[in-house]
Amino acid sequence: MPRCRPAVGEPDESQRLSNRKKSKVRAQVEHVFGVIKRLWGLSKVRYRGLHKNATRAFTALALANIYMSRGLLLVRVRP
């Protein structure tokens, strides 16, 4: 038999749905950062200046996007 109201500190059904939506997006985003850290060793930040750090991060993110979509790209290239 379901409870009438949640216990103290327990999220209700609308909060559960909201948290589930957020966690799906968060999982996709965190996957990209995991690829960057694992493949290119960018787990530590080097303090070279804001412009250089930003350029390095944007390049790494672009490479990660290409790496993660390599399956789709290879299918389109090969006959």
Within a domain: residue 21?
A: yes
Within a domain: residue 2?
A: no
Within a domain: residue 66?
A: yes
Whole-angstrom distance, CA of residue 31 vs CA of residue 61 = 11
pLDDT for 21: 92
pLDDT for 78: 62
Range of the domain at 73: 14-77
67-70 long-range Cβ contacts below 8 angstroms, 24+ apart? 67/35, 67/39, 68/31, 68/32, 68/35
Number of domains in the chain: 1
Query: For residue 77, is pLDDT > 70?
Result: no
pLDDT of 13-69, one tens digit each?
Answer: 888 999 999 999 898 888 888 887 887 777 666 667 888 878 888 888 888 888 888
Within a domain: residue 40?
A: yes
